C-alpha cells in the first residue's frame, strides 16, 4: 500500500466509518517503511509499538472530530520523545531517550496520531542534503542517486515515497522547504513563534521552527492546525490566535497581489527553475492574481548574516553536549578536560564542528562587533526589505532552491557551495516569516519547488494561494517510481 492516491480527509472518513482500522493502516505503513528503508533510508528509528498504539486508538474509538485520530505520522529525529530514541542523527545522542515529549508530540498524541518512527536528518539539523547524518544516507525517492535535501531529508523522503501522509520537520535556514522542493512535497515553515520549540533540539534558537510535510496543501494546513499555538514553556511562542488554516482554503487568489523579487531569479538559479517559477507566475495571473517584480536588495547578504548568527547560536546551544549528564561520554578519559574534549571531538561530526568553529569565532573577543553584531544589523535591513514589500503585496513568490536535487556526494565535499544552496530560503528565517514550498514542475525527472512567503502569522494566505495553484496544476499528482 501507499498514500499516493489518498488524502487526510478521505482516510479520516474511512477510519471513522470503520472501513479501515488504524491498526491495519499502521501495520501496512510500517511494513512499507521497513520494506523501503534499505533503499530510501528515511528512518533512524521505526516505532515497534506503533501497531499496538494504533490498536489502542481503535479500541478507544476513532475521534470523528480529530482528523489525525489513528493516522500514522513521522517525526524528525530532533523532536524529543519519551517512547523512542532521539538522536538528532548524532553519535552524541546515539542511545539517548528523552524523559519528556516535545509540545508538538504531545499535541499530535492528543489528536490521536500514531508515531511510526523518527526520520533521518543532517546531524543537529546542520546541512542541506541529509548526508551529514552519523547513521544513514537518505535517498531521494525520485532518483535514489540524489539527495532528498536537508536537513529534514528523512521527513521529506518518507512523505514523497508515499510511506506516510504527513511528517514533521524543522526549519532553521530552509530545512523544511528545500527538502520539500527536492522531493516534490508540500513543506511549511510557519512564522517564528507560531509553533512551540519546546522539545525541539535547538540549532539556531532565533530561527528554528517546526513545520509539517504533506502530500498536498490542505493536509498541510490540517497538520499545522494541530501543532500551532501558544505554549507557556516557550517564551518566544506567540499569543496570536490560531485560525483554522484549512477553512476557506478554496477561496482562490482573485485580487491577490503577489510580488516576484528579482534577486531570487538571479544568475545562481538554474534556468529550468526560473522557467518553472515564471510559469507559476503565469498560472497565478490566469487565476486573477497580479504578479509584479519587486526588489529585496539586502537579501543577497542573507546567507552571510545567517551563517554568522545561526552558527553562533549553535555553538552555544551545543555546549550542553559535554558527556556529563546524558548522551555519549567518551570512554577511558584521563581527567575532566579529556572527558570534554574527547566526548565532543568523537561525538560531533565534521559539519557540526565546522559550524561550532564559525560560531565560536564570530562570538570570540574582537570578533563580536565585526561579525555577530554586524550580521544582526544586516538582519534588520533584510526584515525592513520584506516589510516594505508587504506594504503593497499579500504574498511573495520565489523558487525554493537554486537547483533540483543534486547527486549524493556531489556537494558534500565543498561546504561553501552547500551553504549557498539555502540562499533562497534563509531570508525567510532571518525575518521570521512563514514560507512554504510546493511542487511547481520537474526537470530531468526531479521536482522543482515554488516558495510562497507570507506576512508574519499569515500562513492562511499562503495556504489559500498554494491550494489554488495545486488545483490548477498536476505536479503534486505525480509520484516517484520506486
Partner 1 sequence: MNFETTIGLEVHVELKTNSKIFSPSPVKYGVEANANTNVIDWGYPGTLPTVNKQVIANGITAALALHADISRHPHFDRKNYFYPDNPKGYQVTENDIPAARNGWIEVKTANGTKKIGIEEMHVEEDAGKNTHGKTYSYVDLNRQGTPLIEIVSKAEMSSPQEAYDYLEGLRQRIQFTGISDVKMEEGSMRVDCNISIRPVGSDKLGQKVELKNLNSFNYVRKALAYEEVRQAQVLMSGGTIGAETRRYDELNGKTYLMRVKEGKDDYRYFPEPDLPSLDISEEWINELREALPEMPESRRKRYVEDMGLTEYDAMVLTQTKEMSDFFDKLIELGSDPKMASNYLQGDVNAYLNDKQVDLADTKITPEALATMIKMIMDKTISTKMAKKVFKAITDGKNPKQFVEEKGLVQLSDPAKLQPIIDEVLAANPQSIEDFNNGKDRAIGFLVGQIMKKTQGKANPSVVNKILMESLNK
Partner 2 sequence: MTEKVNEATTQHIAGLAKLKLTEEQLPRFTEQLNDMLNMLDELGTVDTEGIEPTYSVTDRINVLREDVADNWGQRDALLANAPETTDGLIRVPTIIDESEDK
Which does residue 233 bind out of partner 2, partner 1, none, counting CB within 5 to 8 angstroms by kind?
partner 1
* Residue 174: φ, ψ to 5°: 140, 5
Stretch that binds partner 1, among 127-135, 191-199, 251-259, 452-460 (CB under 8 A): 191-199
CB of 247 to partner 1, least distance (A): 30
Per CB under 8 A, 352 contacts partner 1:
no
Instruction: Choose, from 175, 362, 403, 412, the residue flagged as catalytic.
Output: 175
Name 210's bridge partners.
Answer: 170
**Contact between 287 and partner 2 per CB under 8 A:** no
- What is the radius of gyration, based on Cα positions, of the chain? 21
d(CA 190, CA 212): 9
Alpha-carbon gap, residue 436 to 180, rounded angstroms? 9
d(CA 318, CA 348): 10
Please name the residue that has the C-alpha cell 483554522. 244
The span of 181-189, 270-278, 303-311, 388-396 binding partner 2 (CB under 8 A) equals: 303-311
Return the DSSP state at 131: T
Segment interacting with partner 2, rule: CB under 8 A, options 261-269, 307-315, 400-408, 434-442? 307-315
Please give the distance of CA 7 from its chain centroid, rounded to a whole number. 20
Grid cell for residue 332: 577511558
199 binds partner 1 (CB under 8 A): yes
Question: Is 175 known to be catalytic?
Answer: yes
For residue 388, the minimal CB distance to partner 2 (Å) is: 14
Q: Is residue 390 close enough to count as binding partner 2 by CB under 8 A?
A: no
Establish whether 316 is a catalytic residue. no
CA distance 220 to 226: 10
CB of 202 to partner 1, least distance (A): 7
On whether the CB atoms of residues 192 and 209 are closer than 8 A, the answer is yes
Q: Name the one range near partner 2 by CB under 8 A: 67-75, 177-185, 255-263, 328-336.
A: 328-336
206 binds partner 1 (CB under 8 A): yes
Q: Look at residue 368 and give the partner it binds from partner 2, partner 1, none, a contact being a CB closer than 5 to 8 Å depending on partner kind.
A: partner 1
Beta bridge partners of 118: 45, 75
CA dist., res. 89 & res. 227, Å (int)? 23
Query: Least distance in Å: CB of 198 to partner 2?
Result: 13
Q: Is 206 a catalytic residue?
A: no
Q: What whole-number distance in Å separates Cα of residue 47 and Cα of residue 8?
A: 21
Q: Which is nearer to partner 2, 67 or 305 (CB)?
A: 305
Could you tell me where the DSSP H helices lie in 68-162? 103-110, 153-160
Q: Are 170 and 212 in contact (CB under 8 A)?
A: no
Q: Pick from partner 1, partner 2, none: which does 323 bind, CB < 5 to 8 A by kind?
A: partner 2
For residue 343, the tally of other CB atoms under 10 A from its CB is: 22
The C-alpha atoms of residue 332 and residue 342 are separated, in whole angstroms, by 9
Backbone angles phi, psi at 256, to 5 degrees: -70, 135
Q: How far is CA 186 from CA 179, 183, 209, 243, 476, in A?
A: 9, 9, 16, 20, 9
75 binds, among partner 2, partner 1, none (CB under 5 to 8 A by kind): none
Instruction: Look up cell 517564551; give the residue.
Output: 235
Cell numbers that stand for 405 in this block: 536535487
Nearer to partner 1, 18 or 366 (CB): 366
| CB-CB contact of 355 with 315 (8 Å) | yes
Residues between 93 and 132 that touch partner 2 (CB under 8 A): 96-97, 99-100
Specify the DSSP element, H or E, that contains 60.
helix 50-60
375 scored as a contact of partner 2 (CB under 8 A): yes
Binding mask 31-70 for partner 2 (x = CB under 8 A): ----------------------------------------
Note whether 286 binds partner 2 by CB under 8 A.
Answer: no
Q: Which stretch binds partner 2 (CB under 8 A): 43-51, 166-174, 231-239, 286-294?
A: 231-239
| Cα separation, 306 vs 372, whole angstroms | 10
Residue 100 within binding range of partner 1, rule CB under 8 A: yes
To the nearest whole angstrom, how small is the minimum distance from the Cβ of residue 353 to partner 2?
Answer: 6
* Alpha carbons within 13 A on the beta-carbon side of 441: 23
Residue 240 interacts with, from partner 2, partner 1, none (CB under 5-8 Å by kind):
partner 2
Give the Cβ contact number of residue 472 at 10 Å: 13
Please tell me which residue in 32, 55, 76, 342 is annotated as part of the active site: 76
Q: Does 122 bind partner 1 (CB under 8 A)?
A: no
86 binds, among partner 2, partner 1, none (CB under 5 to 8 A by kind): partner 1
Site residues, partner 2 (CB under 8 A): 96-97, 99-100, 192-193, 206, 232, 235-240, 298, 301, 304-305, 307-308, 315, 319, 322-327, 329, 333-336, 338-342, 344-345, 348, 350, 353-354, 356-358, 360-361, 364, 370-371, 373-381, 383, 415-416, 430-432, 456-457
Active site residues: 76, 151, 175
Residues forming the site for partner 1 (CB under 8 A): 79-80, 86, 88, 93, 96, 98-100, 102, 197-202, 204-206, 232-236, 312-313, 315-316, 318-322, 324-326, 336, 340, 360, 363-365, 368, 372
Amino acid at each position: 500500500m501507499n498514500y499516493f492516491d489518498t488524502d487526510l480527509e478521505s482516510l479520516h472518513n474511512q477510519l471513522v466509518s470503520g472501513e479501515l482500522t488504524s491498526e491495519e493502516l499502521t501495520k501496512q505503513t510500517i511494513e512499507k517503511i521497513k520494506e523501503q528503508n534499505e533503499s530510501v533510508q528515511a528512518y533512524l528509528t521505526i516505532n515497534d509499538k506503533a501497531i499496538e498504539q494504533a490498536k489502542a486508538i481503535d479500541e478507544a474509538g476513532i475521534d470523528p472530530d480529530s482528523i489525525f485520530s489513528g493516522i500514522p505520522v513521522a517525526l524528525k529525529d530532533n523532536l524529543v520523545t519519551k517512547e523512542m530514541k532521539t538522536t538528532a542523527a548524532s553519535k552524541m545522542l546515539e542511545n539517548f531517550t528523552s524523559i519528556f515529549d516535545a509540545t508538538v508530540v504531545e499535541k499530535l498524541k492528543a489528536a490521536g496520531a500514531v508515531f511510526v518512527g523518527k526520520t533521518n536528518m543532517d546531524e543537529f539539523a546542520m546541512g542541506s542534503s541529509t548526508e551529514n547524518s552519523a547513521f544513514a544516507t537518505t535517498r531521494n525517492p525520485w532518483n535514489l542517486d540524489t539527495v532528498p535535501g536537508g536537513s529534514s531529508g528523512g521527513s521529506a523522503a518518507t512523505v514523497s515515497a508515499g510511506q506516510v501522509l504527513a511528517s514533521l520537520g524543522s526549519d532553521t535556514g530552509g530545512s523544511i522547504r528545500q527538502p520539500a522542493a527536492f522531493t516534490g512535497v508540500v513543506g511549511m515553515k510557519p512564522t517564528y513563534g507560531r509553533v512551540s520549540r519546546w522539545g525541539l533540539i535547538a540549532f539556531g534558537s532565533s530561527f528554528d521552527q517546526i513545520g509539517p510535510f504533506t502530500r498536498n496543501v490542505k493536509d498541510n494546513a490540517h497538520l499545522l492546525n494541530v501543532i500551532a499555538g501558544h505554549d507557556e514553556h516557550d517564551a518566544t511562542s506567540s499569543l496570536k490566535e490560531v485560525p483554522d488554516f484549512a477553512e476557506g482554503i478554496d477561496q482562490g487568489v482573485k485580487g491577490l497581489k503577489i510580488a516576484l523579487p528579482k534577486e531570487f531569479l538571479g544568475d545562481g538559479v538554474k534556468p529550468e527553475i526560473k522557467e518553472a517559477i515564471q510559469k507559476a507566475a503565469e498560472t497565478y495571473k490566469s487565476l486573477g492574481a497580479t504578479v509584479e517584480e519587486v526588489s529585496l536588495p539586502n537579501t543577497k547578504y542573507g546567507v552571510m548574516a545567517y551563517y554568522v548568527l545561526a552558527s553562533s547560536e549553535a555553538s552555544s546551544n551545543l555546549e550542553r553536549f559535554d558527556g556529563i549528564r546524558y548522551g555519549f561520554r567518551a570512554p577511558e578519559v584521563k581527567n575532566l578536560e579529556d572527558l570534554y574534549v574527547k566526548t565532543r571531538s568523537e561525538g560531533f561530526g565534521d559539519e557540526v564542528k565546522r559550524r561550532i568553529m564559525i560560531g565560536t569565532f564570530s562570538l570570540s573577543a574582537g570578533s563580536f562587533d565585526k561579525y555577530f553584531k554586524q550580521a544582526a544589523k544586516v538582519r534588520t535591513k533584510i526584515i525592513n526589505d520584506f516589510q516594505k514589500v508587504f506594504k503593497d503585496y499579500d504574498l511573495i513568490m520565489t523558487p525554493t532552491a537554486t537547483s533540483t536535487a543534486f547527486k549524493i556526494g556531489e556537494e558534500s565535499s565543498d561546504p561553501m557551495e552547500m551553504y549557498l544552496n539555502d540562499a533562497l530560503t534563509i531570508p525567510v528565517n532571518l525575518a521570521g516569516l512563514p514560507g512554504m514550498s510546493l511542487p511547481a514542475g520537474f526537470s530531468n525527472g526531479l521536482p522543482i519547488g515554488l516558495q510562497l512567503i507570507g506576512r508574519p502569522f499569515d500562513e492562511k494566505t499562503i495556504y489559500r494561494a498554494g491550494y489554488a495553484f495545486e488545483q490548477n496544476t498536476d505536479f503534486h499528482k505525480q509520484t516517484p517510481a520506486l
